[in-house]
Structure 1
Amino acid sequence: MAFLRSISPVNTNPTIRGERVLLRVPTLADHPQWAKLREDSRSFLAPWEPVWPADDLTRLAFRRRIRRYQREIRNGTGYPLFIFSPDGETLLGGLTLSQVQRGVAQSAVLGYWMGLPFAGKGYMSAAVRSLIGFSFDTLQLNRIEAACLPHNTASIRLLERVGFRREGYARRFLCIDGRWQDHVLYGLVRDDPRP
Structure 2
Amino acid sequence: MSSQAPSVYIRPLTANDAPAMLDLRVRNQAFLQPFEPIRPASFFTLEGQREQLASAERDFAAGTAYAFGVFLREGDELIGRVNLTNIVRGAWQNATIGYFLDQSCVGRGCMTQAVRQVLDFAFAKAELHRVQAAVMPRNTASIRVLEKTGFRREGLSLRYLQINGVWEDHLIFAITSEEWA
The question of a shared fold, defined as TM-score above 0.5 by the shorter chain, is answered with yes
Q: Counting helix residues as a fraction of each chain, which structure ranks higher?
A: 2
Once residues 103 and 80 of structure 1 are traced to their aligned partners in structure 2, the CA distance between those partners, rounded to angstroms, is 21
Taking the aligned partners of 2:17 and 2:89, their CA distance within structure 1 comes to 30
User: Structure 2, unaligned stretches of length 5 or more?
Assistant: none
Q: TM-score, normalised by structure 1?
A: 0.86
Structure 2 counterpart of 1:146, one-letter code: A
Instruction: Within 5 Å, give how 1:159-170 maps onto structure 2.
Output: 159-170=146-157
Secondary structure at the aligned position of 2:156 is classed as strand
- Map 1:103-122 → 2, pairs under 5 A: 103-122=90-109
Please give the alpha-carbon distance, in whole angstroms, between the structure 1 residues aligned to 2:18 and 2:104.
18
Q: Secondary structure at the match of 2:40?
A: coil
User: How many matched pairs?
Assistant: 177
List per-residue Cα deviations over 1:43-101 (Å, max 9, x = no partner): 11011111121111212111211221122112211001110012562011001000111
Measured in 1, the distance between the counterparts of 2:16 and 2:126 equals 27
What SS class does the counterpart of residue 186 from structure 1 fall into? strand
Residue 184 of structure 1, aligned match among 152, 171, 174: 171
Q: Which runs of 5+ in 1 are unaligned?
A: 1-17
- 1:126 matched to 2:113: yes
Counterpart Cα distance in 1 of 2:126 and 2:119 = 10
The AA in structure 1 aligned to 2:27 is: D
RMSD over equivalenced CA pairs, Å = 1.5
Match of 1:92 among 71, 74, 79: 79
Tell me what 1:80 maps to.
67
Q: Aligned partner of 2:179: which letter? A: D
Pick from 16, 24, 41 the counterpart of residue 11 of structure 2. 24
Letter in structure 2 aligned against 1:95: V
Report if the CA contact (8 A) 2:94-2:131 is conserved: yes
Letter matched to residue 33 of structure 1: A
Q: Is the 8 A contact 1:22 1:88 kept in 2?
A: no
Any runs of at least 4 consecutive aligned residues in structure 1 with deviations exceeding 6 A, and if so which? Answer: none
Report whether the alignment pairs 1:149 with 2:136: yes
Check 1:102–1:88 CA distance in 2 against 1; reply closer, same or farther (3 A cut).
farther
1:54 equivalent to 2:41? Answer: yes
The sequence identity of aligned pairs, in percent, is 37
Q: TM-score, normalised by structure 2?
A: 0.92
* Contact 1:22–1:87, Cα closer than 8 Å, also in 2: no
Tell me how far apart the structure 2 counterparts of residues 193 and 111 of structure 1 sit (CA, whole Å): 18
Whole-Å separation in 2 of the counterparts to 1:193 and 1:30: 30
User: What is the deviation of 1:184?
Assistant: 0.3
Deviations along 1:123-166, one digit per CA (max 9) or x if unpaired, are 00000001111111111111000000011111111101110000
Q: What amino acid does structure 2 have at the position aligned with 1:174?
A: L
